[in-house]
Each structure stands twice: as structure tokens, then as C-alpha cells.
Amino acid sequence: MNESSRHILELALQLFKAQGVKSVTMDDIAREAGVSKKTIYQHYLNKEDLIVSILLERFEYNREKIQEIMGSDMNPVEKVVHIYDYSLKSIHSYSLSFFRGIRKYHPNAREMCDEYMRNLIFGQIATLLQEAKEQGLIRPETNIKLLSEIYLWGIREFSNGALSEQVTKDFDAFFSHFILNNIRGMLTDEYLSVAKL
């Protein structure tokens, strides 16, 4: 990606995060970037192509951050907590209208977001939960597939703005109720007595 393309991408992301994808026009992006609209179209076919490019770049950045967590010396349960903490804070940094606009007006981008979250939850997080089960950290009766479906549903609702007022007021309380308390409920008694969650 050349410098001009990256500049446009970064400014468009800032505008989309703050105002949502529907209300930001290509003219707005050109004006903010200090380039002509024609210059933007030399790099991106249309608004959806720009949004998809932004998502691809953000997903790659997120994957790197999550790989750092995966490669740490934390146990699988702690890694799950840190991945959810990072991911939910990342989603929360966008305006509500960002994800709503994607879901309503940009089907390719919506599909990419859904696939990213599905891969994260059913791939890395489910693998960590299986490791935790094998290590005796979570109860053997824990249904990881069902748990993954519940979390995927919850994160979709979260990205659509569910509980947005409560989350904005107290993210830590939201995180504790949505993630930590549920994880504590599946821990074995032995691990719960020493867990620092």
C-alpha cells in the first residue's frame, strides 16, 4: 500500500469511526484527506471497496495483537479473558452507527465482519477453551460449541448497540457481567480457588 492510499485509509477510518459509514461521503473523505475525489477513486473502486480495505487492515492489526496474547505464557483461560477484553474494547471504540451502517448498507463488509468474529470465537477462543478443559481448568461438562454460539450472538448484539448506554457508563461492569462472571461459572473448583479473574 503506497503512502497516498494509506493516508486516505487512515483518515476515512477516523471519519467512519466517529460518524458511521452512512453519513460520511467520498467528498467528506477527499476534503479531510486534502485530495480530490478522483484521487480516492484511483485507489478504491467505491465506498464499499474503501470500507473493505479498512476492515482488512484492521483485522490484520487485530490478528497481530491476538497472536501476541496467544503466544504469551498465560494459561488458556487467561488468554480467553484478554482476547475478549481487547476485542470488546476495540468494537466499543467505534460509533454505534459504524456497525449499523455496515450491516444495513454494505453486505460484503458485513459478511467480512461476521466471518472475522466467527473465526475468532470458533477458532482461537474455542481452541483455548478446549485446552482449558483438557488441563482441568474448566468443568468437563462445558459445551464449548454452545458457549461459542452464545458469545457470538452477544458480540453481534454488542456491536449493534445493545446496552450501549451501560457500556459507555461502565465498561468494566459490562465486561465483568458478560465475560468474567460467565467464565468463573465454568471453572473447576480447584482452579477457581486460585484463579485471578
| Domain edges within the chain | 53-192
Grid cell in block for residue 104: 444495513
Alpha-carbon span 53 to 65, nearest angstrom: 19
End-to-end CA distance of the chain: 41
- Model pTM greater than 0.85? yes
- How would you write the pLDDT of the chain (197 residues) with one tens digit per residue? 688 888 999 999 999 988 889 999 999 999 999 999 999 999 999 999 999 999 999 999 999 999 999 999 999 999 999 999 999 999 888 877 888 889 889 988 999 999 999 999 999 999 999 999 999 999 999 999 999 999 999 888 888 777 777 777 888 998 999 999 999 999 999 999 999 88
Cα pseudo-dihedral 186, 190, 193, 195, rounded to 10: -60
- Residue-wise pLDDT tens digits, 81-128: 999 999 999 988 887 788 888 988 998 899 999 999 999 999 999 999
The pLDDT of residue 1: 66
The pLDDT of residue 169: 82
Alpha-carbon span 195 to 185, nearest angstrom: 12
Contact 186, 139 (CB under 8 A): yes
